[in-house]
Structure 1
Amino acid sequence: MNFRAFHVFSFVFIFSYGFSIAQTVPAVYVFGDSLVDVGNNNYLTLSIVKANHRHYGIDFLNHKPTGRFSNGKNAADFIGEKLGLATSAPYLSLISKANKNENNNVSFMNGVSFASAGAGIFDGTDERYRQSIPLTKQVDYYSNVYEELTREVGVTALQNHLSKSIFVVVIGSNDLFGYFESSQLREKNTPQQYVDSMVYSLKLQLQRLYNNGGRKYEIAGVGTLGCCPELRLKNKTECVVEVNYWSLKYNEVLRSMLNEWQLENEGIIYSYFDTYAALNDLIQNPASYGFTEVKGACCGLGELNARAPCLPVSNLCLNRQDHIFWDQFHPTEAASRIFVDKFFDGPSTYTFPINMRQLVAS
């Protein structure tokens, strides 16, 4: 694969004089699923999960779809804003430009997003979507980036850069959705065995990131998955209790693992975001956040606008600010903004052991 190096002068300038005043960290490296995908799936020819058509992006710049599963910005965009950075570019877009010689100055030093809609912790989670980039492959791509940057600037300078950068990991929802939709998986594993295996597999990938320079991590748990519009549709519009229960159990095991993982490795600093608590708060207290619709999707078809994905022929709500959910699974731009506000400055109700602002400062 043909990686195009950035100008060495730019690198020397950054490390000699520091990054801009508004910029609080040198880079953000994003791993995850559709909650933070900013366009990688647009480059996957076989994938049927792409946000590259209307009504996606209706509230984004120029009102055009970009690959984000939102009416506008998603959590990755708001993270960039909080940190004074541009949103990390999709990895596959940078590679595509480099291979086509469209850009002789492609740089991974500014951060990059490996996130992919449909991705899971486990390989094969995306089978129902035909193609995505599972977490293992995302970390493989990061390893390629690490090797390339090592050749360009050397181990010492790169480690200095990476030790100050933020590694964002938002994944796990698709694994749980897949489990509860698969009789085969449920026959092979109890729910407890499955969530334990999820966390064990995630730890292996986090360790790979640590071995390749990652030190500061923002890691999100899964939300109230049983309350998303598609699952409500299957349960007479009410949340699916079993799915929510195991979402909570997964988050509990994840938090325990992160604490152990930190003790096992020198220099790890992390902030865990309790997505479940944050989303549940929005659902239980919508008026406090300006929402009026907590069950249905803004874009879709049928009951709760949840009988089909957001498509060009879908119904579209008049006020996206009123809705927590944009489509069958994903939050609106308004909800994503609130989530990022909570994990950036949030109290221990939502963040553990520190919030993202403290993570940056540490």
Structure 2
Amino acid sequence: MGCKLEVLTLKIDCFLYLLAIGMLSGGGPLVMAQNPDGVVDAFPAGGGMVPAMFIFGDSLIDNGNNNDLNSFAKANYFPYGIDFNGGPTGRFSNGYTMVDEIAQLLGLPLIPPYSQASNSRDQMLHGVNFASAAAGILDITGRNFVDRLPFNQQIKNFENALDQITDNLGAVDVAQVLSRSLFFVGMGSNDYLNNYLMPNYPTRNQYNSQQFADLLVKEYTTQLSKLYNLGARKFVLAGIGLMGCIPNMVARGTTGRCDEDVNQLVLPFNENMRTMINSLSTNLPGSKFVYINVDNMFRDLLANARSYGFRIVNRGCCGIGRNRGQVTCLPFQTPCRNRKEYVFWDAFHPTEAVNVLMGKKAFSGTPQFVYPINIQQLANI
């Protein structure tokens, strides 16, 4: 056991060494600053509030990792990215995702996908996005889409990134760099959408809603603990939103309204997440956890849509069928023109306008939306 720990420590130390060296060689004059622990950090002038952000999740925050997979879950075609500088990238949005906005607010550049960054260590300097559309906490989730990168595989990819970066370096202890970076995780939605609610999966017959939530969070706890053992200390965890209100779920009914049964179905998972966060905070020394209450954010958004500038709350800007949600946005389909007035971009995902709004609330919002502190406060610890 001792040998394994030494290897792991060596791996983390080497990774952090390169991360620090990369920051030193990133160009521009350096700013030396002493943090509250007395450790001197070096960043290029105008650097971010944190050294880096590492992102794990699904299509809500995937930015291109599925592009080269043998997968049906892709968004690397027009009109996806119609409002993004550079066009389609693999983001399941017309523009920014929530983590794009959070990165900007932290003073970081947009975080590259692992599929791109793994080819160049220089691109990993401010973090890596490992998220994959159709991915879930459970490995079997999303298999209808063929290839995808479940959370367990995303963690392995993070380990591979450490291996790649440390191949030719000696061990230098700069662990403060990684310990001050943010680890953003948004998982769970597909475990319902593309597992529990799918007729070709057995899980709905095997578990009631509470049992399934317990299963998910038990596995989630193990996975987050792995990230902790790899050096993560500052975690930002996003809960599941009002899944019954996405256009695809609305389209399955005939009233044009949210499916409240589905909204109730995912509540035990969100409740379990709060319990899990309290437990992990106690059992993992030095860890800090922030919970983004996406459910509350969407309830507030739908209740006050007009005041936020939204007019259309129950159908997609781009899609086919009832509520533009029965078939999601197809290649070269013409989307709505007034995209800033839509809550949903396609059958499953929010518009850039909503992603930016939610990113801002997560960054500097009140405990109603982000608990027990917000991302800005976490970054400053």
TM-score by length of 1: 0.91
TM-aligned CA deviation for residue 77 of structure 1 = 1.0
Question: Residues 23 and 44 of structure 2 are in contact (CA less than 8 Å); yes or no, is this contact kept in structure 1?
Answer: no
Question: Residues 23 and 43 of structure 2 are in contact (CA less than 8 Å); yes or no, is this contact kept in structure 1?
Answer: no
Structure 2 matches for 1:135-174, cutoff 5 A?
A: 135-150=151-166, 152=169, 154=171, 156-157=173-174, 159-174=175-190
Structure 2 CA distance for aligned equivalents of residues 235 and 11 of structure 1: 52
Structure 2 matches for 1:223-262, cutoff 5 A?
A: 223-236=241-254, 237-262=256-281
Structure 2 CA distance for aligned equivalents of residues 332 and 253 of structure 1: 28
TM-aligned CA deviation for residue 146 of structure 1 = 2.7
Structure 2 CA distance for aligned equivalents of residues 7 and 23 of structure 1: 14
Structure 2 CA distance for aligned equivalents of residues 11 and 307 of structure 1: 46
341, 353, 359: which is aligned to 2:372? 353
40, 43, 65: which is aligned to 1:40? 65
Structure 2 CA distance for aligned equivalents of residues 142 and 165 of structure 1: 14
Structure 2 CA distance for aligned equivalents of residues 360 and 16 of structure 1: 15
More helix by share: 1
What letter corresponds to residue 297 of structure 1 in structure 2? G
Deviations 1:61-110 (A, max 9, x none): 14x21100000111121111011111111101123xx3xxxx5x534332
Question: Residues 43 and 93 of structure 1 are in contact (CA less than 8 Å); yes or no, is this contact kept in structure 2?
Answer: no
Alignment correspondent of 1:216: 234
Confirm whether residue 51 of structure 1 aligns to residue 78 of structure 2. Answer: no
TM-aligned CA deviation for residue 147 of structure 1 = 3.6
**1:121 to 1:315, Cα distance in 2 relative to 1, 3 A:** same
SS of residue in 2 equivalent to 1:112: coil
Q: Which runs of 5+ in 2 are unaligned?
A: 1-14, 31-39
**1:106 to 1:123, Cα distance in 2 relative to 1, 3 A:** same
Question: Residues 180 and 243 of structure 1 are in contact (CA less than 8 Å); yes or no, is this contact kept in structure 2?
Answer: no
Alignment correspondent of 1:27: 52
Confirm whether residue 10 of structure 1 aligns to residue 22 of structure 2. Answer: yes
Q: Which runs of 5+ in 1 are unaligned?
A: none
TM-score by length of 2: 0.87
**1:60 to 1:85, Cα distance in 2 relative to 1, 3 A:** same
What letter corresponds to residue 153 of structure 2 in structure 1? K
What letter corresponds to residue 66 of structure 2 in structure 1? N
Structure 1 CA distance for aligned equivalents of residues 282 and 351 of structure 2: 37
Deviations 1:231-269 (A, max 9, x none): 011122221112101222210111111111110010011
Question: Residues 48 and 106 of structure 2 are in contact (CA less than 8 Å); yes or no, is this contact kept in structure 1?
Answer: yes
114, 129, 144: which is aligned to 1:128? 144
184, 204, 220: which is aligned to 2:222? 204
Structure 2 CA distance for aligned equivalents of residues 153 and 86 of structure 1: 28
TM-aligned CA deviation for residue 279 of structure 1 = 1.0
Question: Residues 297 and 305 of structure 1 are in contact (CA less than 8 Å); yes or no, is this contact kept in structure 2?
Answer: yes
Structure 2 matches for 1:312-331, cutoff 5 A?
A: 312=331, 314-331=333-350
**1:289 to 1:16, Cα distance in 2 relative to 1, 3 A:** closer
SS of residue in 2 equivalent to 1:17: strand
Alignment correspondent of 2:12: none
Identity, % of aligned pairs?
Answer: 37
Instruction: Kindly tell me the number of residue pairs found equivalent between the two proteins.
Output: 349
**1:9 to 1:263, Cα distance in 2 relative to 1, 3 A:** closer
**1:277 to 1:16, Cα distance in 2 relative to 1, 3 A:** closer
